[in-house]
Amino acid sequence: MKGKLKILFLCTGNSCRSQMAEGWTHHLKSKTIEPYSAGIIANGLNPHAVTVMKETGIDISLYSSKIVESLIDIPFDQVITVCNLAKESCPVFPKKIKITHVSFDDPPSLAKSAKSEEEALSHFRRVRDQIRAFIEKLPLE
């Protein structure tokens, strides 16, 4: 292997799903993968995402929400879109890159109808755990 794979996790606002994917990848795959995350827009880091990741011992509180254009010069080996809008809006990169799509539910949208804080967090926890299961299978062939 010629060094770590550079993988970009891309979602709509880089506030939750892509941030959790980056955190899990740092935690589980740091010897083989150099992860990044970005969004089509930058919505800021979601505090519930920080909370549920901290429950697993992973601190993403210092991560920042950024737009994909700010990372366009990084020679990524793979881009993984984690929501449908990101898949539809995925930019063209300077070199040919493997693009993979996996759609995770949007916890902030689901949490809007929650009747309690605990119910809202349960949406974030479910998606967090689904993202972990996906990250455990990286790198994809």
The catalytic site residues sit at 11, 83, 90
Residue (of 93, 61, 78, 85) closest to 139 by Cα position? 78
Q: Within 10 Å of residue 6's Cβ, how many Cβ atoms?
A: 17
